[in-house]
Amino acid sequence: MLSNKKKEEVNTTKGVNLIGEGTRIEGDITAAGDIRVDGQLKGDLTTAARVVIGPNGSIEGQVKCTFAEVIGQLKGDIHATETLTLRATAKIIGNLTVGRLIVESGAVFSGSCTMSGQVKPIQASEKPDSVDNAKTA
């Protein structure tokens, strides 16, 4: 029997991409889906999704993504429009531009950090006691 219904297209472009341990890539990568790097990448990485740099993974280049989790090493700037998580073993040499930043004890980064979230002004009732005590001392 023939059907007049149109077939729905399945979006397969947003899968998980893996650069496995022992793999070395030189060049820029652009993807629509998540990317996990357990090997080595020398080049820029751009995705509209999540980037995970595994414990043995390393990137030398710029990273642009929505979410990122760094367990391994990054030598270059990272721009995560939402959340960047630095696990205890993370090592970054470069600038961070993020919406939110989570840093575990032991993580290391050398560079500047810019957070693009809205800054909430401090109200007079929210000032720490030490500020008031300094004025009276």
Q: Give the tens place of pLDDT for each residue, 23-76.
A: 999 999 999 999 999 999 999 999 999 999 999 999 999 999 999 999 999 999
DSSP letter at 6?
A: P
- Rounded to the nearest 5 percent, the helix, strand and coil shares of the chain are 10, 45, 45
Tens digit of pLDDT for each residue in 108-137?
A: 999 999 998 665 666 666 555 555 555 544
Q: What is the value of pTM for the model shown?
A: 0.76
Check residue 12 and give its pLDDT. Answer: 41
